[in-house]
Amino acid sequence: NLVLEVCGAANDAECELLASAAVAKARELEKAAFSSDFDPPGRARLPSVRAARRAALTNTPCADPLPAEADAVAEAIFKRVLELIDREMPSVVSTLFAFSSNSTLLGMHENDELEFTRREPAINVYDAGGVFTPHKDHQTLTVLLSLTPPSNFTGGGTGFWKRHAPAACVEVRPKAGTALLFGGDLTHAGLAVESGTRCVYVASFSAQGGREMRVKAAAGSRDIYGDLV
């Protein structure tokens, strides 16, 4: 039930570059407020280059990936967050990734020992009406990085639920560049954007192995747009 906030995970220039690239790609998909064959109206998911390649291997419907420059920046930020976790929160690795042969999250990532939710890492773009309904990620860890300041949109933000609670107990709208870290059993949602545009980078992942168990757990709780199942 813990959500950790990492301030300054990305700088303003990085956030602006990623948000601009993602919105431009989302506009290419647009069929009435970002509606496409891949996402519901009001939301578009732009995968990283690696995520798009993995999707192609499994015949998973997927939008074209982020441009190379934006992809490189997103990858650098993700590695920065992993390094921070390794350095400042070593218990995360020792308790949640204990069965991996690698002692660091960055090492796991660089050796392709992390398994991501399909089409992730990615940037989600929310336009007016865009929402991601309450769900659990069913991965070991999720990194959710805000790319647009709250002043860019109304509504929106991320809601978190306590167990069995009927409504969100906490709603957060972090400043651009702030990352949220939380576990895969925590119910959360991308709250509906009323106006403007919101962009977030998301990566949900586990150490390789145990996918069948996660899929079984996810089958009863993921929302209709869940990618894991």
Query: Residue 34: which pLDDT band, with cuts at 50, 70 and 90?
Result: very low
pLDDT of 197 strictly over 80? yes
DSSP per-residue codes, 98-143: TTSS-SSHHHHHHTT-EEEPTT-SEEEEE-TT--EEEE---SSEEE
**One-letter amino acid identity for 213?**
M
Average pLDDT, the chain: 87
Distance CA 81, CA 66 (A): 20
- Average of per-residue pLDDT across 65-69: 96
Q: Which of 40, 102, 114 is nearest to 75 (CA)?
A: 114
> pLDDT for 86-145, tens place per residue?
999 998 888 888 766 678 999 999 999 999 988 899 999 999 999 888 888 889 999 999
Instruction: Tally Cβ neighbours within 10 Å of residue 164.
Output: 6
pLDDT of 201 strictly over 50? yes
pLDDT of 229 strictly over 70? no
Whole-model pTM: value is 0.89
Instruction: Please state the length of the chain.
Output: 229
> pLDDT for 78-90, tens place per residue?
999 999 999 999 9
List, in order, residues 6 or more apart from 107 with CB less than 8 Å away. 113
pLDDT of 215 strictly over 60? yes
Better pLDDT: 179 or 62: 179
pLDDT of amino acid 20 = 97
The residues facing 171 across adjacent strands are: 159
